[in-house]
Amino acid sequence: MNRIDEAFNSKPIFMPYFPLGFPDLETSINIIEALAQNGADLIEVGLSFSDPLADGPVIQKATQIALENGITTAKSLSAVAELRRRGVEIPLILMGYYNPILAFGLENFICEAGSAGADGFIVPDLPIEESEEFARAGRICREQQDHADESLPLIRMLAPTTPSERMEKIAGGAQGFIYLVSVTGVTGARKSVADGLASLIERVREHTSIPVCVGFGIGTPEQAQEVAANADGVIVGSACVRNIGESEKPVEAAQEFAKCFHAALQEAKHSQ
């Protein structure tokens, strides 16, 4: 059983997002380590890009700062390896846009990510129709490293606007978990959980048996609890970045943030 499957042995799980290089590289590594040690079950590790189309202003600002600080794909992969050396054992999913990955080289990126200790990828601007090259590079990498049975999944994303026929196409062959976008638009915390989310999750479950995790718009432990009543995982991005980034002691803020959301989801777990 891989790390992603193991994480979902105790659902619902807490899945924060944080970009490497913000507010600087060393601090971001310490922040991600703190999240892992204080209740995160899986972390989406952000790879910065100059044109993050799916992200709202909080994450855009953070990744821009990371780029100004000199973050690169190579440095990000080295940071993942450092997190593993420090004993971080939970799944680390690399979340980034396709252009920097292509520039790095698909096979090189996937092979080096696997060697560093990454568990999978989220590429918001890579539709399923154009993902075969990514999948082929992954197969070549596994063959070269004699890991034919150990795939690093490309996590699929679904949205409220996804038609049923397309949802079947995307979810039917998905691996790891489904990233379900709860609202239309870009990332960012909202005042309330999206109407109709429970029925949307049920619609997705008609097409897949793998875990369904909800992101976009979740900003408080109370909202996380509400989402966790139906979802297998709760993804918190903008609120995590904002809360930690605004603190004078970001590592301590990360510890408290993780503890609060972990406690909320533990309460949701026991009430189910």
Residues labelled catalytic: 44, 55
For the chain, the domain total comes to: 1
Nearest one of 68, 8, 11, 71 to 45, comparing CA atoms: 71
Is the residue at 90 inside a domain?
yes
Domain of 249, CATH number, reads 3.20.20.70
Which of 66-70, 113-117, 213-217 bottoms out in mean pLDDT, i.e. has the lowest?
213-217
Is the residue at 4 inside a domain?
no
Please, where are the H alpha helices in 121-230? 132-144, 164-172, 197-205, 221-228
Residues 200-204, mean pLDDT to the nearest whole number: 95
pLDDT at 186: 46
Distance of alpha carbon 104 from alpha carbon 128, whole angstroms: 21
Which band of pLDDT confidence, cut at 50, 70 and 90, is reported for residue 208?
very high
**Amino acid letter, residue 6:** E
Residues 222-228, mean pLDDT to the nearest whole number: 94
Distance of alpha carbon 115 from alpha carbon 269, whole angstroms: 34
User: What does each C-alpha distance from 74 to 109, 116, 154 come to in angstroms?
Assistant: 9, 11, 19
Distance of alpha carbon 234 from alpha carbon 58, whole angstroms: 19
Is the residue at 68 inside a domain?
yes
Is the residue at 3 inside a domain?
no
Phi-psi region of 239 (alpha: psi -120 to 50; beta: other; left: phi over 0): alpha
> Which tens digit of pLDDT belongs to each residue from 34-63?
999 999 999 999 999 988 777 889 999 999
- Strand ranges for 87-145 from DSSP E: 92-95, 120-122
Which band of pLDDT confidence, cut at 50, 70 and 90, is reported for residue 115?
very high
Is the residue at 2 inside a domain?
no
Residues 224-228, mean pLDDT to the nearest whole number: 94
pLDDT at 38: 98
- Please, what is the average pLDDT of the chain? 92
* Cβ atoms within 10 Å, residue 124: 19
Distance of alpha carbon 43 from alpha carbon 118, whole angstroms: 10
> Which tens digit of pLDDT belongs to each residue from 141-199?
888 876 555 679 999 999 999 999 999 999 988 999 999 998 754 444 445 566 789 99
Residue 165's domain comprises 9-271
**Amino acid letter, residue 58:** V
132 three-class SS? helix
Is the residue at 1 inside a domain?
no
